[in-house]
Amino acid sequence: MNLAVIMLAAGRGVRMRSAYPKLLHSIGGVPILQRLLNTVNQIKPNQIVVIYGHRGELLKEAFNSSQPPLVWVNQKEQLGTGHAALQALPWLNAEIDKVLILYGDIPLITVETLKRLLQETEKEAIGLITTELSDPTGFGRIVRNSEKKILRIVEEKDATTDEKCIKEINTGFFLVSKQHLQSWLPKLSAQNVQQEYYLPDIVAMANAEKIPITSVSPSFAWEVMGVNDKIQLAKLERLHQEALALRFMEQGVTLLDPARFDVRGDVSIGKDVVIDVNVILEGRVILGNNVVIGPNVYIKDTVIQDGTRVFANSVIESATIGAECNIGPFARIRPDTVLAGHVRVGNFVEIKNATINSESKINHLSYVGDASVGQEVNIGAGTITCNFDGKKKHKTIIQDHVSVGAGTQLIAPVTIGENAIIGAGTTITRDVPSHCLIHNRIEHRTVIKQTDANEELK
């Protein structure tokens, strides 16, 4: 089978009340169009055609370098879903024999359901995904005869009172041969309440030609739910997050509250991981075995190895974290930070573009940026790497076994040799040799103010 996918995305999406096309809005941190592409690419279509329209240029720009490449077709006037599908026909490659048409505002369809549609629709038939809803308001209804054979689809606005009582709805997925589409789409009429060319009318045409019509139903109701406004977008976001949380729990992850856990990207989690409430994982995140994440933690594009604990209210971005580290509470790990194993980063510590080697500790109120820190280094509270001279960033190198006293400023570029000890309150402006003790704290002097002294003498 040579399959093409046609995605209808030219609708105005007025109810979104947004300056951006609907398919640029995200669910789980992934734009709707990207989500649909990720799903349909798994059924390996030979071609993907996107019908765009209103503000669709923005969509086209965002997905211009999409792989495999997309065929973009502009539907200049939005005359209905049937008219939209018709625009794709001249662009279909010669070898295409089957076409899967889907509506771009149904983002959570799963590849399993699409595969079932492909498998269960016989060669000559047309295949639909339908489902029963307790409240079918707004959807096209599936009209069957007494033998349960599908006859046609009627839109809510055109339905009789009896037809409105039908609970089975059209979800908007059609598997049709190219040949049939070429014959039926040009024959659609807009003689209906909305004066639109309805794609679902091809079902009645199939029936008239005695073409069999198959239907499959989705495994989950959320797979076929649409996004028409921000309320539905938020609902689908929740349903998607719930489904992801369930999947992680099935894999053995302990989520203290699955309703307060958000994944916005591509996340992989090892064994015996415990995640507290209000944790957000974004982008590409990998958590090793036995990792513990405290409450209110944000982690983006980061790898965390086995046994590391991240305590409450920490923020970690684009970092590589070794095994058995302790981070936070209230730590901020910024991009290009590499922590080796057994490192401790405590509260109100900010680290940026720095490598911290094993067994080192930065426990309180420090800034370490553009630095390389050796093994078993202890950085005292309130230490600052002064990396910026107003024009350029400079590097601080702290070699193994150094002890930096509290309240130290390291004016970069500077190197502290191994085993050096820096006294508290020192401002380092030059390199420090190995094995030295250094301090430049000013002498402690007590001056009694004359007036106070006189007062005391009285």
* Residues found near ligand UD1 in the complex (CB under 6 A): 8-11, 51, 75, 78-81, 83-84, 103-105, 139-140, 153, 155, 169-172, 198-200, 226
For ligand UD1, give the closer residue by CB, 203 or 345: 203
The residue number whose beta carbon is nearest to ligand UD1 equals 140
Cβ 353 to ligand UD1 shortest distance, Å:
44
The partner in contact with residue 84, picked from ligand UD1, Ca ion, none with C-beta cut-offs of 5 to 8 angstroms by kind, is ligand UD1
Q: CA 170, CA 205: separation in Å to the nearest integer?
A: 16
Judged by CB under 5 A, how many residues of this single chain contact Ca ion?
2
Cβ 129 to ligand UD1 shortest distance, Å:
10
The partner in contact with residue 170, picked from Ca ion, ligand UD1, none with C-beta cut-offs of 5 to 8 angstroms by kind, is ligand UD1
User: What is the per-residue DSSP string for 147-161?
Assistant: T--EEEEE-GGG--H
Active site residue 364: yes
Q: CA 358, CA 355: separation in Å to the nearest integer?
A: 10
x/- contact string, 49-88, with Ca ion (CB under 5 A)? ----------------------------------------
| 107 in contact with Ca ion (CB under 5 A) | no
127: which strand partners? 175, 214
The partner in contact with residue 28, picked from ligand UD1, Ca ion, none with C-beta cut-offs of 5 to 8 angstroms by kind, is none
Q: By CB under 5 A, what part of segment 208-227 binds Ca ion?
A: 226
Binding part of the chain for Ca ion, among 100-108, 180-188, 325-333, 398-406 by CB under 5 A, reads: 100-108
Which pair of tokens denotes residue 270?
């090892």
Nearest C-alpha neighbor of 303 from the set 260, 330, 339, 251: 339
Contacts of 417 (CB under 8 A, 6+ apart): 399, 402, 431, 432, 433, 434, 435, 436
For ligand UD1, give the closer residue by CB, 168 or 282: 168
Element (H, E) at 220: none
Cβ 172 to ligand UD1 shortest distance, Å:
4
For Ca ion, give the closer residue by CB, 15 or 393: 15
Nearest C-alpha neighbor of 362 from the set 411, 398, 319, 323: 398
Catalytic residue among 25, 83, 364, 444: 364
The partner in contact with residue 83, picked from ligand UD1, Ca ion, none with C-beta cut-offs of 5 to 8 angstroms by kind, is ligand UD1
In the sheet that holds 292-293, the strands lie side by side as 254-255, 274-275, 292-293, 309-310, 326-327, 344-347, 361-364, 378-379, 403-404, 421-422, 437-438
Q: CA 306, CA 291: separation in Å to the nearest integer?
A: 6
Q: Which residue bears the tokens 């006037």?
A: 77
The partner in contact with residue 75, picked from Ca ion, ligand UD1, none with C-beta cut-offs of 5 to 8 angstroms by kind, is ligand UD1
E-strand stretches of 66-224? 71-74, 98-103, 126-132, 141-144, 150-154, 168-177, 213-216
For Ca ion, give the closer residue by CB, 12 or 187: 12
Residue 85's Cβ-count burial label (10 Å; 0-12, 13-18, 19+) is buried
Tell me the catalytic residues.
364
Residues that bind Ca ion (CB under 5 A): 105, 226
